[in-house]
Amino acid sequence: MTNDVSFKRADYLEALDRWAIVRDVCAGQHRVVDRLPYINAHDKSPENQDRNKAYRVRAVFKNATGHTRNGMLGLAFHKDPTLAVPKKLEYLQDNANGSGVSIYQHSQGTLEKVLEAGRHGLYVDFLQDDGAGGHSVILSYCAEDIINWRTGMVNGHSVLTLVVLRESPEIEDGFGFKVIEQYRELALEDDGFVCRVWRRTGPKGGGPLAVFQEFRPTGATGRLKEIPFTFVGAQNNDPSIDESPLYDIAMINLGHYRNSADYEDSVFWCGQAQPWISGLDEQWRDWMEKNGVYVGSRAPMMLPAGGQFGYAQPLPNTLVKEAMADKNQMMIELGARMVVASLSSKTATEARGDQSASTSVLAGCVANVSEAYTRAIMWCCAYMGIAEKKVAYQVNQEFVELTADPQMIAALVGLWQNGGFAKADLRAYLRKLGLIAPERTDKQIDGELAEQDDGLGLDDEDKPNGGEPSSP
């Protein structure tokens, strides 16, 4: 039995290295340069150290993994997400975490972390306001900071009963700051949810961990009966650790980087032509060593009878080059093709088919992010005593841009007028086409149509014209 709140689960420790690899590769060359092999590791001489330094400087890193991640984010957020919340929670649109980050940017960061590690976490906290009664915030935790968790059966359902989060708050230190070690325990007890903050009690940040603060959050409806924390995964949102969607690409990307380092090293050492002279006797040799030899079209070189001058040019290092090309193709096949421009023109149907095959993992991640934020908003409602009604947060899953020509729009309107589908369905499709802003509700549109005098009024009921004739 352990009473150490900093205890880390075995499956968490096993996944740490995989997460670090993907995050380093996505970050760029400055984070992966130390992952190159050290040439002649047994040689500690300054000459070998300089050679290894030059070996790393010359290597060229092609960040296919980072560009693939950014391409996925662009596909998911090329249209704004839709947010449906009660009026009291509309502040989430501009300030979701209490630090001025909108829920749009918040969810974008969450999807980015899910693509990298296949795991993330959202925690809903309740902050008291001076005279305002308090408000809910959605806090984000990386996979590396969720060190422990436990589930149990409550009323026939498997729910989280313990989550331990590692935090690194900054404490003022004059004009500077220092980072301290802190753990946040989220526990489900018999009387409801409780939050405890653990810190080291000894001088200078040492000593054993002890409870520094304890909170028993109560919203407008009393204590929560569940932990307001949800995992966000690549496959699903349960506590199990999912595989990183970009791990395979990242590993091949590292192999490509190592091949690049070897190739650039061989180019440096063997890429320059080596001049040679033959047929010299000792007298000619000594004279040339004393006076020097100039090589070039404007420097004629005198040689003895039978002497020759030429260049030794090594054969190209095609083996490393082929290895780089193979890995580049493998990365494209594993998903990097989503950010590679097509060399041939394709129809919209062909492009949609290609994209649907290469974005299936992205679709699952986006759906999990949307579900997690919807659940977080429900906890916000519970804290603030708001009837949930219909709350939802939906990140775009139309990864291929839909286009509509005038004929299509006319056909859609005609189908609606003939009773083919409801007006709400027509507007929902027009939102997908980008012709109606996603955040505009049907109620807002109907209200504006009723207020304007010069509208087209296409859906107005036929009314007898009882108005007066206009003045000539």
Residue 465 lies in a domain: no
Tens of pLDDT, residue by residue over 427-445, are 877 777 777 777 777 888 8
Q: Return the pLDDT at 404.
A: 66
- As a whole number of angstroms, the distance between CA 109 and CA 121 comes to 11
- As a whole number of angstroms, the distance between CA 260 and CA 264 comes to 6
Q: Which of 11, 13, 75, 57 is nearest to 395 (CA)?
A: 75
Q: Which of 116, 92, 114 is nearest to 20 (CA)?
A: 116
As to burial, measured by CB atoms within 10 angstroms (0-12 exposed, 13-18 middle, 19+ buried), residue 449 is middle
Residue ending a domain, among 282, 313, 344, is 313
- As a whole number of angstroms, the distance between CA 20 and CA 25 comes to 8
Please, are residues 237 and 371 in contact by the beta-carbon 8 Å criterion?
Answer: yes
Structural domain boundaries, residue 438 = 402-453
Which amino acid does the sequence have at 450?
A: A
- As a whole number of angstroms, the distance between CA 128 and CA 113 comes to 29
Residue 182 lies in a domain: no
Please, are residues 275 and 309 in contact by the beta-carbon 8 Å criterion?
Answer: yes
- 3-state class of 299 per DSSP? coil
Q: How far apart are the first and last CA of the chain?
A: 95
- As a whole number of angstroms, the distance between CA 64 and CA 340 comes to 10
Residue 94 lies in a domain: no
- Structural domains counted in the chain: 2
Residue ending a domain, among 313, 331, 363, is 313
What residue ranges of the chain have pLDDT lower than 70?
Answer: 1-2, 130-133, 205, 336-359, 400-405, 453-472
Q: Return the pLDDT at 465.
A: 53
Residue 303 lies in a domain: yes
Residue 247 lies in a domain: no
Tens of pLDDT, residue by residue over 26-39, are 999 999 999 999 99
**Residue 93: DSSP 8-state:** G
Residue ending a domain, among 313, 344, 362, is 313
Phi, psi of 183, rounded to the nearest 5 degrees? -130, 135
- As a whole number of angstroms, the distance between CA 287 and CA 154 comes to 96
Output the CA torsion 95→97→99→100 (10° steps).
Answer: -20
Q: Return the pLDDT at 358.
A: 53
Q: Residues, the chain, total? A: 472
> Hey, what are 471's tokens?
């003045």
Angle made by CA atoms 320, 323, 325, in degrees to the nearest 5: 110
Q: Return the pLDDT at 240.
A: 94
Q: Return the pLDDT at 163.
A: 96
- As a whole number of angstroms, the distance between CA 140 and CA 70 comes to 20
